[in-house]
Structure 1
Amino acid sequence: MRNPLHSHRLRRGRYSESGRAYLITAVVYQRRRIFSDWQVGRLLVAELRRAHDQRWVDSIAWVVMPDHLHWLVQLEAMPMEGLMQAVKSRSTLSINRALNRKGAFWQTGYHDRAIRDGEDLKPFARYIIANPLRAGLLEKIGDYPLWDACWL
């Protein structure tokens, strides 16, 4: 298990490239299962859609799990660090406001994996979308409300 005191190391050597696809994972502080409440999850979804609508990214696929987010994007107008800062900050504000709470919402840092040029993105999207099935949250992905993919 990664020591949260060393989460700043996630940023070392990170380089984001406009036009490149990335698989991003962000985890809720203390792995609280706050997105088990789908209405709260929809607040995060609104921020993902905002990032897409503002053309910061081309959002390819995402799933909001009870305690984390998986997001497959192609970076456009905003570098990774700015994107994640904006999405995490805005979602923290809206979620904390909705739940009448204060304080940290996301764990520090995030994990990203650059996808090689020419690599097929559909297997990554399928992996992301199948997360609720693998976690045993349901039997059919169509029953899970917090996911999307551009091919649908």
Structure 2
Amino acid sequence: MPQPRSHDIRRGRYSEAGRSYLLTTVTHQRRSLFHDFHHARLVIQQLRRCELERSCRSLAWVVMPDHVHWLIELKALPLGEVMRRFKARSSLALHRAGVPSQRVWQAGYHDRALRREEDVLHVARYIVANPVRAGLVRSVREYSHWDAVWL
């Protein structure tokens, strides 16, 4: 079986301040770390910290049991640096909370730059409806690990 080559994903990646990006990152070996309410809230704190630092503006996000979807408008930092900081800080917070000292996140992440004409609100709705599509809840209102600026 061929080895994953996350560095190939980065080839051609370009960060543009002011552009909206849909980001997805997955836990190492798809472990369901965020079924635990406290662990999910620690990750959410780190999403918010990135916004407080003005490296991005969070438009919508959802923390699923084994992954995160995050719609941002990029600000001061390159995309890779925003994700590096988020993943490093959330890993540290989780380890301090008692998650075993092993990898929290898989290497790399998926990003998609939204075209200017794309409906950002449509993408945000898709993100926050993820727990419903996954069968975790019947209604978005029943899930506590999401947010969107349009509320």
Partner of 2:95: 96
Other structure's SS at 1:46 match: helix
Partner of 1:77: 76
What is the deviation of 1:104? 1.0
Percent sequence identity over aligned pairs: 51
**Structure 2, unaligned stretches of length 5 or more?**
none
RMSD between aligned residues:
1.1
- Cα–Cα, structure 1 residues 55 and 94, in superposed 2: closer, same or farther, change >3 Å? same
**Residue identity in the other structure for 1:69:** V
Q: Is the 8 A contact 1:8 1:108 kept in 2?
A: no
Measure the CA separation in 2 of the matches of 1:131 and 1:74.
20
Q: Deviations over 1:68-90 (max 9, x none)?
A: 00000000011101000000000
Q: Deviations over 1:51-110 (max 9, x none)?
A: 011111010000000000000000001110100000000000000110252121100000
Partner of 2:58: 59
For normalisation by structure 1, the TM-score amounts to 0.95
1:26-65 mapped onto 2 (5 Å cutoff): 26-65=25-64
Q: Is the 8 A contact 1:4 1:108 kept in 2?
A: no
1:1-152 mapped onto 2 (5 Å cutoff): 5-152=4-151
Aligned residues: 150
Measure the CA separation in 1 of the matches of 2:126 and 2:3.
26
Q: Deviations over 1:93-142 (max 9, x none)?
A: 00011025212110000000000113220110000000000000011111
Other structure's SS at 2:97 match: helix
**Residue identity in the other structure for 1:54:** E
Other structure's SS at 1:5 match: coil
Measure the CA separation in 2 of the matches of 1:103 and 1:139.
33
